[in-house]
Structure 1
Amino acid sequence: MFHRIRRRRAEAEMAEILRRHAEFEARMIAEQGSPYSAATVPEPPAEPAPVVDDFLPPELRVPSHDQVEGRMMPWPWPVVLDDEVVACTECATYRDWLIISTYGQVWLRCRAGHQQLEPRLDTAWFNRHSGPSDATHATFEDCLRHLGH
């Protein structure tokens, strides 16, 4: 029973607050005028704005996928596929790989320079595991030197 009385008092107080607010708003509009009465249309500039290239400067642009031959990343851990550790077919090395993604294929390159195609890996796997590119190189050898191979 008491909660009904409290609820009615709260509703009456809220109605009084809303009434006072409406009166105050009516007085303010009467004194200053409504800010919404006349829509303000911005004036066109006297002279056209200069055309500015809204893109990154050339030194900050990243080449698109069709402008690069491929991507590489170091992989110091063993590559495990289907519960099998992948080893180099020529020297039997199983860690410290350089993983190369090019033309939709993924290649593994060991420290000795032997390369082998890994058909169980794809470009999606490479993209999930590689980080952002930190450099672009003109030649394959430059990239190898950059990655310490």
Structure 2
Amino acid sequence: MFHRIRRRRAETNEMRRLHDEAWAQLEGLVPPEAERIPAEPQSCEPASVVDDFLPPELRIPSHDQLDGRMMPWPQPIVLDGDMIACAECSAYRDWLILSTRDQIWLRCRQGHQQQETRLDTAWYNRHAGPADATHATFEDCLRHLGH
């Protein structure tokens, strides 16, 4: 058994020696592609500046320019094994989820609102789809979402 280990070790040492010799021979060589590359880049004319931004009427505000965002949530919300229900009317589905100032608020169909501390902005961002509209007032947004 030990003779196999010695033989393998000798083969490995021989391969390492051959590799080191080949590497030493390549060390001083310059690849032919390097000779064709110019030493200094050629100056070219500057590219023309093009305004590729959307016109102002098609831009939507970024999340830091909004007072808040909201999305409909028709199914029940279950957190930590508990189904969330409205504290005033006991509704448990057809919520509007509002995200504002790093807080999550739930609004039932009757208009009752309650803060949900077990949800955060990261949860909202994972579950919210793209915004389809922006509104000037809270009431306009409620009308748009059918509440």
TM-score over 0.5 for the pair: yes
CA distance in 2, matches of 1:139, 1:133: 15
Residue aligning to 1:104: 102
Q: For each residue in 1:6-58, what CA deviation from the matched residue of structure 2 results, as whole angstroms up to 9, or x when unmatched?
A: xxxxxxxxxxxxxxxxxxxxxxxxxxxxxxx8x8x68748xx94x54221211
Residue aligning to 2:111: 113
How much has 1:144 moved relative to structure 2?
0.1
Aligned-pair identity (%): 72
Give the alignment's Cα RMSD to 1 decimal. 2.2
Residue aligning to 1:68: 66
How much has 1:64 moved relative to structure 2?
1.1
TM-score between both structures, scaled by the size of structure 2: 0.68
* Aligned residue type for 1:103: R
Q: Map of 1:1-149 to 2, 5 A cutoff?
A: 44=45, 49=48, 51-149=49-147
Consecutive unaligned residues of structure 1, counting only runs of 5 or more, are 1-36
Consecutive unaligned residues of structure 2, counting only runs of 5 or more, are 1-35
Residue aligning to 1:27: none
CA distance in 1, matches of 2:62, 2:45: 38
CA distance in 2, matches of 1:61, 1:124: 24
CA distance in 2, matches of 1:138, 1:43: 48
CA distance in 2, matches of 1:98, 1:118: 12
Q: 1:125 to 1:43 in 2, by over 3 A?
A: closer
| Runs (4+) off by over 3 Å | 41-45
Q: 1:52 to 1:86 in 2, by over 3 A?
A: same
